[in-house]
Chains A and B, each alone.
Chain A
Amino acid sequence: MNLMSSKKERIDSLAASVAEVEVAEAGTVKDTGGESLIAGAWRRLRRNPIFLIGLTLTALFVLLAIISPWLAPWDPAAQPLIDKVERQSNPVPGPEPGHPLGGDNRGRDLLSRVLIGSQQTLVVGVVATLIGLSGGLVLGTVAGAFGGWADALVMRVVDVMLSIPGLLLAFSLAALAARPSQWTVIIAIAIVQIPIFARLLRGSMLAQRHSDHVLAARALGVRPSLIVMRHMLPNSMGPVIVQSTLVVATSIIDAAALSFLGLGNPDDRRPEWGQMLGASQQYLNEHPHLAFWPAGCIIVVALGFTLMGESLREALDPKTRR
């Protein structure tokens, strides 16, 4: 219960931050053009080392995902070391010339798999976030725009979902899948994020509904549909964007957790870090390096997204602005 209310409070305070920005910027009497919210946030971010570290890590990760096919010496599905696995008593070949990190338990080049793994990891993180975001956008817009019973209904469902710990919900959803695949992992993770996005968006839409510029638009007879789509929704997106950055990190970690519990994608021809970590568990004692590389990558990438998201949130939050 406590967990749930703290989760909701966090979402709501993030949603409220945008409304406060407008109040903070109102009441200016100087007759000069001001600075946009984005420009102001960027000015603060540019000098924030935490943000710069997060941005760098994230950018390197995305770059790696793009260029890894050229970097990787081997095809991640090829088994150049398979003889060694079969001949030796040692099931995991160690480093040797041409294979700086050695091979995995099926004789595949570990370095290539770690490098190429960035691609699927990026896909899982981003696609799960996008699906969660879209679902949340639809529900949050319905709730925030119509109010009344539509709002009550949506928020009831959202609150029930939020009351279940996220990872537990993802496990249950993934376990429901008849044939686990990359998609079942992505969807299980995404669904968990929908209520968070929905609640966040609804909160900032409600704040927008009572804003001066929405009142001014209504005073001009602007149609309700246009008020929602042009005047309320775009101005409610700030906290949602911040949350998206954080959700990419959570999704990547959740995917690893699912794989570790055997609920991940069984097809390992195209590697994914979470899946590699999951597959390493039976060799953990003798060959911890199999877990070390994918786990290390996941931690660094998740850290990058989290640092970036948290400093974005700070930059957009009026309470921390000077």
Chain B
Amino acid sequence: MSEPLLSVRDLKVTFTRQGAEPFHAVDGVSFDVRPGQTVGLVGESGCGKSVTSLAIMGLLPRRGNSVSGQVMFEGTDLLGLSDKQMRERRGRDLGMIFQDPLSSLNPVVSIGVQVAEVVQRHRQVSKSVAMEEARAMLDKVGIPDPRRRLREYPHQLSGGMRQRALIAMALACRPRLLIADEPTTALDVTIQAQILALLKDLVSESDTALVMITHDLGVVAGMCDDVNVLYGGRLVERNMRHDLFAAPAHPYTNGLLGSIPRLDSARGEPLDPIPGSVSDNLPWAESCAFAPRCPSAAPDCLASSPELVPHGGGGTDGEGALRCFHPVVPAEVAR
């Protein structure tokens, strides 16, 4: 097995606000991404997916939070880099795309200038070369008539086009890692599928590793090699995609699977969402945070905190892991 490209170890992000309890948005998350691999980071809203990705990119606000752990990227701990060193890497070694394509583009600058800006930033090329490169990138992400689009402004593009333009910007300098934070949530269903297919093609063609952040296991099913399931800022289950879908072991994962609409489910049949919400969470320190919503919860779940332990043969190198006292047995798997 190849060495990991990105290796996140015991990442913790704590928000400290005056007059409020410190809030552990990310509470000791570890995972690996190998070159060219696509890894999913899955969980409900508020479980810390975006904060994890911003911490990796060094984009968290300068004040009001503390970050600890390690983010090893090709042997360097990104958390130890200066602002300037990190700026050199962003856009060149690591790229990121966000949820809302319209608000992620500068409304008063043309698409061409915005794409060329990245090229000029990281490569010593002239403006015209950068612009030509931008045109080639727009072409590559499937924007028709790229030469005309270069001169257009974000509001003139459709939602799907805008996300394509953002992908072009993120991939313009051929980063080895791309983080996509819910890249399709703000788009129409049909456009969602197109964008996912495009991302899949682009990363496999250029051998870029992809961290796919989503709350939608359906997205994971079509794209990811490994899947990490987050709950309340902690990893609760990790497995190879196939194993995770075939035999979810954590009750939370099982619940997420049960809430995906299925082709063979009868029309109008209610989905089976997980009851309750993250606001019911217990503190991880002395219990299982998921216990109030967990169908398998037992007294020990309230009395002590489950550890992350190796589980199954899963993960690309047998690193499947699980944080639960009472894993789901195959007979209970949501179907």
Contact = CB atoms under 8 A, between A and B. Distances in A.
A223 B87 CA distance: 8
Contacts of A234: 108-109
B88 interface: yes
A213 interface: yes
Interface string B53-96: 00001010000000000000000000000000001111110011
Interface in A245-290: none
Contacts of A25: 102-103
B273 to A, nearest CB: 21
Given A27-B186, A213-B103, A231-B109, 10 more contacts: A25-B103, A26-B102, A29-B187, A32-B159, A212-B100, A213-B105, A215-B59, A221-B87, A223-B87, A230-B117
Contact of A35 (B96, B155, B159): B155
B103 A220 contact: no
Interface string B89-122: 1111001101010111111110000000110011
A22 to B, nearest CB: 6
Interface in B182-234: 186-188, 190-191
Interface size class, chain A: 20 to 34
Interface string B146-158: 0000000101111
B169 interface: yes
B42 interface: no
Interface in B130-167: 153, 155-161, 166
A223 B103 contact: no
Nearest to A233: B108
B170 interface: yes
A211 B117 contact: no
20 contacts: A22-B103, A29-B159, A30-B188, A31-B159, A31-B160, A31-B191, A36-B107, A212-B103, A213-B106, A215-B59, A215-B104, A216-B105, A219-B59, A219-B170, A220-B95, A221-B90, A221-B121, A222-B91, A230-B106, A230-B117
Residue from the set B117, B153, B158, B186 with the largest chain A CB neighbour count within 10 Å:
B117
A36 B102 CA distance: 11
Given A30-B159, A32-B158, A226-B117, A221 B102 contact: no
A97 interface: no
Contacts of B190: 31
A120 interface: no
Q: In the A-B complex, list the 3 residue pairs whose CB atoms are closest, starting with the nearest.
A: A221-B91, A220-B91, A221-B90
Interface in A78-95: none
Contact of B155 (A33, A217, A221): A33
Contacts of B102: 25-26, 28, 34
A231 B117 CA distance: 11
Contacts of B59: 215, 218-219
A172 B103 CA distance: 46
Contacts of B160: 31
- Interface centre among A30, A36, A37, A217, by most chain B C-beta atoms within 10 angstroms, is A217
Contacts of B170: 219-220
B121 A219 contact: no
A235 interface: yes
Contacts of B89: 221
Contacts of A223: 87, 121
A226 B109 CA distance: 12
* Centre residue among A31, A32, A39, A223 by max chain B CB count within 10 A: A31
Nearest to B181: A219
A211 B191 CA distance: 25
Nearest to A40: B155
Interface in A195-235: 211-213, 215-223, 226, 230-231, 234-235
A40 to B, nearest CB: 9
B117 A222 contact: yes
Contacts of A34: 102, 155
Given A220-B117, A223-B87, A212 B158 contact: no
A317 to B, nearest CB: 17
